[in-house]
Amino acid sequence: MKIKTKPYGEIEVSERQRIIFPEGIIGFENIHQYFLIDSREGPFYWLQAE
């Protein structure tokens, strides 16, 4: 599956990277599905909303 991101444009992600927060996260209660994306430039990861 492909998703669009601001830092890297369109990237390929797998279902294994999908994280579901049934009640959302603080400040983003209406967004429930995210992908865990590996940063290409360091030891960090970020959550990308679907």
Domain boundaries, the chain: 2-49
- pLDDT, residue 2, reads 92
Check residue 10 and give its pLDDT: 92
List, for residues 1-50, the tens digit of each pLDDT value.
Answer: 999 988 789 999 999 999 999 999 999 999 999 999 987 778 989 899 98
The pTM of the full predicted model, rounded to 2 decimals, is 0.78
**pLDDT number for residue 6:** 84
Tokens representing 40 are: 């290409």
d(CA 12, CA 3): 7
Q: Which amino acid is at 37?
A: I
- Cα 44–Cα 16–Cα 42 angle in degrees, nearest 5: 15
- In terms of C-beta distances under 8 Å and separation of at least 24 residues, what long-range contacts does 41-49 make, across chains too? 47/19, 48/3, 48/5, 48/13
